[in-house]
Amino acid sequence: MADNVPFSHRCTAFIFGLFQTISRFFFRLIFGAKGERMPPITDSILLESATSLATKIRNQQLGSVQVLESFIRRIKEVNPLLNCVVDQRYDEALKEAAAADELIKSGQYTVEQLAEQKPFLGVPISTKDCIAVKGLLHTAGLYARRDVRADEDAEAMALMRKAGAIPFALTNVSEVCMWWESNNTVHGRTNNAYDTNRIVGGSSGGEGCVQSAAGSPFGLGSDIGGSIRMPAFFNGIFGHKPSKLIVSNKGQFPEPFSAEQNSFLGLGPMSRFAEDLRPMLQIMAGENAKLLRLNTPVALDKLKFFYQESDGGGRMVSSVDPDLQQAMRRVVQHLSDKFGNGRVERVQLPQIRQSAAIWFANMRDDSGHGFSYQLGNLQRDINTYLEMAKWMVGASKHTLIGLITAVMDSNQCQHGSSKYKHLVAKRDELRANIQKLLGDNGVLIYPTHPTVAPYHNEPLLRPINFSYTGIVNVLGFPATAVPLGLGSEGLPLGVQVIANFNEDRLCLAVAEELQRAFGGWKRPEVHL
């Protein structure tokens, strides 16, 4: 914790830390030893990156039908244990895979033309239940939408489909995608592949989980407070939140209330392999891809690497786990050894300590609507206190955390108030400082989350921990979650890599370097 933290904050931090230690003891008593073990991976196709699968399919080393059948079998094997997939279109996808195989065999296109025009031809893709896939459920985990199906693809998915990818599975989310455990009254709770007693994160938790378990080669997530990066971290995969306003949010539910909120939300790629992120983002960005210069090589030996080990002592935010501190040090040591000590610098940005307050304030807008309106399916504000009373007797169709979040949201500072203006100014000051620090050749390495994946329901007792990712959304910078192996509890470790506006390629290049150094995704249980 930073030395200039006020004494009152230190006392609060001590009490909060003691409370968490005691609560963790009781959670361990409740859940006991690690949860059920994952079925071993026995099909080598499941261990390929999406990029590798696409290459082998268009070179007729593998068939699209063969690949799709492998992932369908895997989902059927793991989903009873994990509950990550909530809807599917296997029959339609198999027909589309057969058509892809026929197109390749026809010789209508050369291998080079296919690589250029349909770079992911025949590769199955999944996404979360808030990003529209024509014909599949589009509930966002909201009971009032339990029967809603999408009329058309979200724009990002339409672009991936145009590039040859085949949508085949839909994955679980938190209620209205505004909490960091994937659990709702429509589909239930999703379990972590490394320990089924632990969370998968949210709101792209089912997506992170299905990839972690090798049930999908790659997928789409969305992120307004860490909803790609936290699930990527908890599930040991890669996930990228693009620079603001690069990837279209059309087809995402719920829709942002304002243009500024729209800039905080980002649809982005998720995969077990860093090499998939760049070509996925190139496709998803559409016409905006030119702004990112993704095909311009990155000279890693010329980059400046900055790192911050914690938020400096945010109120009601957990201390960074020792395992994660060690992981950060290993990253710093690797970069120093490879690129020189002079290119790696420790920093401490003081405004980051207020990340949660800055995020909550900047999420306010002049629409008059808040989270209770989202729980009302963007049609009405629900009566949160009435719903909480109904929840106590098992009569509410909302989750407890959804209702608590609505109450918390209603008690935040109001748009246009003096506190709001103060915290917006804090955001702008922090944004300017980071822009100056990073320039066009620097990255900031920062914890994705202060703890490894908590037990189910444990986030209720540490709700503000999302601030490590949420602050990046309101700043608008790109950030990539990078896995760094497993820690002492057998759970994934990782960091996030942040760059300046439209310098996404720097994040992705560093992610690829760290995958080479630390091995990336680690299989929950493998037998070949």
Given 216, 227, 271, 318, which residue is catalytic? Answer: 227
Element containing residue 334 per DSSP (H, E): helix 322-339
- Taking the C-alpha atoms of residue 254 and residue 406, their distance in angstroms, rounded to an integer, is 15
| In contact, 202 and 176? CB cutoff 8 Å | no
DSSP 75: H
CB atoms within 10 A of CB 134: 18
**Residue 264: which of 285, 247, 279 has the closest Cα?**
247
Is 263 among the catalytic positions?
no
Selected catalytic residue, list 70, 126, 182, 203: 203
Distance in angstroms (rounded) separating the CA atoms of residues 323 and 342? 26
Distance CA 483, CA 485 (A): 6
Per-residue tokens: 128: 């979360």
DSSP string, 109-143: S-HHHHHHH-TTTT-EEEEETTB--TTSB--TT-G
The answer to whether residue 182 is catalytic is: no
Beta strands in 243-377 (DSSP E): 266-271, 304-307, 344-346
User: Is 476 in contact with 461 (CB distance < 8 Å)?
Assistant: no
What CA–CA distance (Å, rounded) separates 215 from 170? 11
Q: How far apart are the C-alpha atoms of 239 and 220, rounded to whole Å? A: 9
Given the residues 56, 118, 128, 244, select the one marked as catalytic. Answer: 128
Angle at 331 between CA 299 and CA 458, to 5 degrees: 130
If one counts every other C-beta atom within 10 angstroms of the C-beta of residue 418, the result is: 9
Told to judge if 522 belongs to the known catalytic residues of this protein, a careful annotator would answer no
- Please, which residues bridge with residue 271 across strands? 218, 238
Residues marked active site are found at 128, 203, 227
